[in-house]
Amino acid sequence: MKPKMPMLLPWLARKAGISEHRAEVLWQAALRHARHRHGHEGEPSAEFWRCAMDRCCELIAAEKLRADTFGWQRLTRAGSLWSQWWQLPLAAFEGGSLLAQRAWRDLPEQQRRWRQAFAR
């Protein structure tokens, strides 16, 4: 039987940038912490689950900081912004060439329309 996991766990893992498997391991550690703190006799109380969830959030936050020790994630996000700026001239050229291609493709149709319009 698979232990209870909060439905929020995959979302927290994605938000923190860690794997879901690592988040499950941290959840198990949070459950152990809550069992040690509150004892686990029979059905767990709401306080037990609150303690486990709070500890899990603390562990995920610590894991996020550990994974991003030097702030590389911020730099890579900024790097992706710069790469988008460098691609701007290429995107403008591509848009212009597509516009020209469509104009040449539709030129015979446009000429036919002009002839009909001025023939009247």
User: pLDDT (tens digit, 9 = 90+) per residue, 87-119?
Assistant: 778 788 888 888 888 888 888 888 888 888 887
pTM over 0.85: no
Q: Distance (Å, rounded) from C-alpha 60 to C-alpha 13?
A: 8
54 & 17 share domain? yes
Give the orientation angle of helix 20-38 with respect to helix 46-67, to 10 degrees.
140
Q: Distance (Å, rounded) from C-alpha 9 to C-alpha 57?
A: 9
Give the total number of structural domains in the chain: 2
- Tell whether 78 is covered by a domain: no
- Tell whether 14 is covered by a domain: yes
- Tell whether 75 is covered by a domain: no
- Tell whether 105 is covered by a domain: yes
- Tell whether 81 is covered by a domain: no
Residues spanned by the domain of 37: 9-70
- Tell whether 106 is covered by a domain: yes
Q: Distance (Å, rounded) from C-alpha 87 to C-alpha 9?
A: 36
